[in-house]
Amino acid sequence: MAQNFYKDTPVQDLPGVKAWCVPILEDEGIETAHDLLHQFPSKYIDRSRMYKIKEINGASQYIQVSGKITHMAITGTGRGQRLTAKFFDGESYMDLVWFQAIDYIVRTYHENVTYIVFGKPTIFGNKVQLAHPEIDTPTSIMKKKVMGVQQSHYSIPEKMKRKKFTSATMRSIIVEELEGTVKRNPIPENLPQYLVDGLKLMSNHDALVNIHLPGNDRLLAEAKYRLKFEELFYLQLKAQRAYKRNKGFVGNVFNTIGDIFNTFYSKHLPFPLTGAQKRVIKEIYNDCRSGKQMNRLLQGDVGSGKTLVATMCMLIALDNGYQACLMVPTEILANQHFETIYQQLSPLGINVALLTGSTKQATRKKLLPMLASGEINIVIGTHALLEDSVKFKRLGLAIIDEQHRFGVAQRAKLQAKNALPPHVLVMTATPIPRTLAMTMYGDLEVSTIDEMPPGRKPVMTYHQFDTNRYQVYDFLKREIAKGRQVYIVYPLIDENEKLDYQSLMSGYEQLLHVFPKPQYNISMVHGRMKAAEKDSQMQDFASGRSQILVATTVIEVGVNVPNASVMLIESAERFGLSQLHQLRGRVGRGADQSYCVLMTDTEISKTIQTRMDIMVGSTNGFDIAEWDLRLRGEGDIEGTQQSGTALKMKIADLSTDTQILHRAHDAAVKIIEADPELNAPANAILFEELEERAKAEENWGNIS
Ligand code: ADP
Ligand code: MG
């Protein structure tokens, strides 16, 4: 690895970093000079001009004024104490006000000295007031490098702020690095020169300087562009290289569609396949017979019938003398898939098994040898399938359902279960916008189910306020009277969240009163229950013994009870759009009209109102995902956090930087096309960067 001064210099060796800051920075994973320079500002405050007090009005954001303090006075006592200073800019006056640190201010600042004050003004009548302004002298302000520029501002985690490490601290450390270290040691380029020249990008050095200390607006824009490009480009390059490698792997050849598939297709198919289901099965089959190993993503909105596609593809594996497995993220889902598939396939003499964390030791003992000997044809399970003790005789196809809940590492682990890696099909019902798919799943081929089974009526969605709760309950009773079933979902994002747990429990108590026994039976599932208990409650609901299922998001993925016609979501404002869409997808699975009720507080913000309006207005998962991206930014899209793909962008924003992403993608494709393993000398730098980025990602993976 080439020497890199910045990566080799620990933060404690930088003159601008005071001793007390070192552990705080290190705690956040900011260990080197390089790391510091890559803490990008979250926003900029315009300090490009000096204001006159008479120009300031209600619309003013941040302002700075040069002038003198002419008079200071302390009024009030105790907690009500405040210090007011008259500040004169040569023409007019304004007030500077402090409620804290008054003694310090009185000691430090004096009348008749020129100061530059900075802050966010408030206007009372025609009086301008600046509370707790930043105050500098003409000399001190030169040192801070804020005059005449866009001043960088850093968003600092609460944890650091509590230790008195603020945006200003971060800024002063970085400015000092730029003024000292960086002036002496140019920052090396980390893209090949031919790319920088060819795309007319700003150099790495200039970009890092200007992102923190913009020379002017144009330079700032160029710096942003360059750094965003670089971030997206390396993600694309990694994906393209993996894609190319994947394509090169020799795979098991499935060259026949045989008796098992055909018998199922002609005699046991529960309903005719949709055109889209047929098409994707063909796409998958074509991959599996090609001689190359398949790595394919099957995308399809909730309820589009991915399970059946998975089942039929597993039959093709069986027809060719292989075993198949299906891995899902929750035990509830594993049980459910097992039951459906067991019922469908055991009449054909196929041996289907279930393996989860709560499979009894005695059962495991019997099951594992049967898998290893090939006696079991299909195994369905959770993460438990990944354990080393799980061995196959001839695993030909590995399917992962709800891939967004898993990471790349798990995919790799399944692939290692056979000498010749099995074909891999990952399925996701979290529809993701194209740009995000390009970034997250760039190494996969994509098949899309773009058609719903016939006869489905779109779920009718309503937004209701808490205050209408009893009307909503009456509606539920009417649906139940028609023989339908109802989900009621509470937010319990974090199973350890005590308050959420309490509200779930008190909600349940209330429901027991509103829906009394013996007329009504209520089941409940949540993450704190034992697996067996969860399972029996689910069973009661699935079999129709209970009409209401009170649940947390454990039912978010995959659960399939076609007789359920109402999804009532409590505190809907607490869920993300895609998550609401997933939950809504639990109903509308039969031919009956289904409903989704989003319950919120009466007092909700504009954004939440917008989110509710989007849900009411659209049932298209892809549209909703696009909105989600636009409204919340990619960092928050569900699935991206858990997926281990860690799509937390440092500077690029996938919802707005689409054009940069496409350029980065094109550049990456071209490079990998010409030099798949990045062996060319001009590409050595790319190879090294990818290695390093992979290492960094691993470390992050260990933390979370
Ligand atoms: P998802 O794509 O969300 O995993 P599922 O596989 O759970 O969807 O299927 C949703 C529902 O649609 C299930 O009840 C399933 O039996 C039914 N289904 C699947 N394919 C068809 C089809 N071709 N025609 C009618 N119903 C279907
Ligand atoms: Mg599913």
* Cα gap 181→450, rounded to integer Å: 55
Q: What's residue 147's pLDDT?
A: 77
- Please report, for residues 79, 85, 94, 106, the alpha-carbon distance to residue 75 in angstroms, rounded to integers and kept in the order given: 11, 11, 17, 13
Mean per-residue pLDDT, 471-480: 97
Condensed to tens digits (0 to 9), the pLDDT of residues 80-120 reads 899 999 999 999 999 999 998 899 999 999 998 999 999 99
Q: How many residues does the chain have?
A: 704
The contacts of residue 517 (CB under 8 Å, 6+ apart) are none
Distance CA 257, CA 34 (A): 56
**CA separation for the pair 245, 231 (Å, rounded):** 22
CA distance 440 to 243: 12
Residue 614 alpha carbon to ligand 1 centre in Å: 25
Written as one letter, the residue type at 562 is P
* Lookup: tokens for 51: 């204001």
End-to-end CA distance of the chain: 28
The beta-strand segments (E) located in 208-322 are: 295-300
Q: How far is the CA of 584 from the centre of ligand 1 (A)?
A: 15
The pLDDT assigned to 639 comes to 42
Q: How far is CA 199 from CA 191, 194, 357, 435, in A?
A: 11, 8, 52, 21
Give the pLDDT of residue 496: 63
Please report which confidence band the pLDDT of residue 494 belongs to, taking 50, 70 and 90 as the band edges: low
Q: How many CB atoms lie within 10 A of CB 346?
A: 11
CA dist 475 to 188, 419, 481, 561, Å? Answer: 66, 57, 10, 20
The chain-wide mean pLDDT, for the chain, equals 90
Longest dimension (CA), the chain: 97
Cβ–ligand 1 contact at 275 (below 6 Å): no
Arithmetic mean of pLDDT, 506-511: 92
Tokens 């009893």 belong to residue: 470
Nearest CA to 85 out of 113, 57, 60, 59 is that of 113
Average pLDDT (598-623) is: 92
Instruction: Collapse the DSSP code of 225 into the 3-class scheme (helix H, G, I; strand E, B; otherwise coil) and give the result.
Output: helix
Q: What gap in Å lies between CA 501 and CA 490, rounded to an integer?
A: 9
451 within ligand 1 shell (Cβ under 6 A): no
Instruction: Give yes or no for residue 309 CB within 6 A of ligand 1.
Output: no
pLDDT tens digit string along 378-436?
A: 999 999 999 999 999 999 999 999 887 787 788 888 888 988 999 999 998 866 777 78
Which pLDDT score, from 0 to 100, does residue 700 have? 45
Q: 36-40, 237-241, 471-475, 691-695: which range is least confident on average?
A: 691-695
Q: What is the CA radius of gyration of the chain?
A: 30
User: From CA 487, how far away is CA 483, in angstroms rounded?
Assistant: 14
**Which is it for strands 93-98 and 82-88: parallel, antiparallel or unpaired?**
antiparallel
Say if residue 647's pLDDT is above 80.
no
Helix then strand count (H, E) for the chain reads 26, 22
Burial group, residue 569, by CB count within 10 angstroms (0-12, 13-18, 19+): buried
Cβ of 383 below 6 Å from ligand 1:
no
DSSP calls for 19-31:
TTHHHHHHHTT--
Cβ contact 493:500 at 8 Å: yes
What pLDDT is recorded for position 337? 94
| pLDDT tens-digit readout, 27-78 | 999 999 999 999 999 999 888 889 999 999 888 888 999 999 999 999 988 8
Which of the 8 DSSP states describes residue 523?
E
Cβ partners under 8 Å of residue 48, min gap 6 = 148, 149, 150
Q: In which residue are the tokens 């459906």 written?
A: 340
- CA dist 434 and 414 (Å) reads 26
Most confident of the following: 58-67, 204-213, 567-576:
204-213
Decide: 591 and 458 in contact? Cβ < 8 Å: no
Alpha carbon distance 342, 350 (integer Å): 8
Give the CB-side neighbour count of residue 7, counting CA atoms within 13 A: 11
- Is residue 274 in contact with ligand 1, taking CB distance under 6 Å? yes
Q: What span, in angstroms and rounded, lies between the C-alpha atoms of 499 and 490?
A: 12
Does position 223 have pLDDT exceeding 90, yes or no? yes
The predicted structure's pLDDT at residue 226: 98
Beta bridge partners of 296: 425, 445
**pLDDT (0 to 100) of residue 144:** 83
Nearest Cα residue to atom 25 of ligand 1: 453
Ligand 1 pocket: which of 265, 268, 271 to mutate (most atoms <8 Å of CB)? 271
Tokens of 570: 């409590």
Ligand 2 mean position, distance from CA 323 (Å): 21
- Quick one: tokens of 563? 């007789």
Query: What distance lies between CA 25 and its chain's CA centroid?
Result: 25
- Provide the pLDDT for residue 702: 36
Looking at residues 665-688, what average pLDDT do you find?
95
pLDDT number for residue 633? 54
- pLDDT (average), residues 622-650: 61
**Chain-centroid distance, C-alpha 520:** 39
Report how far residue 589's alpha carbon sits from residue 453's, in angstroms, rounded to the nearest whole number.
9
What distance in Å separates the CA atoms of residue 97 and residue 127, rounded to the nearest whole number?
A: 13
336-361 pLDDT, tens digit each: 999 999 999 999 999 999 999 989 99
The Cα angle at residue 457 between residues 451 and 463, in degrees rounded to 5: 115
Question: Who wins on pLDDT, 671 or 535?
Answer: 671
* Higher per-residue confidence, 656 vs 160: 160
300 lines ligand 1 (CB under 6 A): yes
DSSP 3-state of 616: helix
Q: Is 414 in the pocket of ligand 1 (CB under 6 A)?
A: no
Query: Ligand 2 centroid to 666 CA: how many Å?
Result: 33
> pLDDT of 258-312, one tens digit each?
999 999 999 999 999 999 999 999 999 999 999 999 999 999 988 899 999 999 9
pLDDT of residue 492: 75
Beta bridge partners of 324: 378, 397
Side-chain-facing half-sphere of 685: CA atoms under 13 Å: 12
Instruction: Please state the pTM of the whole predicted model.
Output: 0.77
Structure tokens at 165: 């490490």
The single residue listed with the structure tokens 């019997």 is 366
- Listed residues: CB within 5 A of ion ligand 2: 558
Q: Are 457 and 431 in contact (CB under 8 A)?
A: no
Q: For atom 10 of ligand 1, which residue has the closest CA?
A: 303
Cβ–Cβ contacts within 10 Å for residue 366, how many?
Answer: 10
Are the CB atoms for 331 and 251 separated by under 8 Å? no
Contact criterion met (CB below 8 Å) for 67 and 115: yes
311 alpha carbon – ligand 1 mean position (Å): 12
**Helix (H) or strand (E) run with residue 72 in it:** strand 63-75
Q: What is the DSSP letter of 292?
A: B
**In the predicted model, is pLDDT for residue 122 greater than 90?**
yes
Residue reference for tokens 């390093």:
692
74 lines ligand 1 (CB under 6 A): no
Residue 640 — pLDDT band, cuts 50, 70, 90?
very low
- CA 418–ligand 2 middle distance (angstroms): 25
Assess whether the C-beta atom of 588 lies below 6 angstroms from ligand 1. no
C-alpha 285 to ligand 2 mean position (Å) = 20
For β-strands 82-88 and 63-75, DSSP reports them as antiparallel
- Which residues make Cβ contacts (< 8 Å) with residue 269, sequence separation at least 6? none
402 Cα–ligand 2 center, Å: 7
Identify the residue whose C-alpha is closest to ligand 1 atom 1: 303
**% of the chain exceeding 90 in pLDDT:** 69
Give mean pLDDT, residues 175-204. Answer: 95
User: Does 337 contact ligand 1 (Cβ within 6 A)?
Assistant: no
With contact defined as beta carbons under 8 Å apart, do 536 and 455 qualify?
no
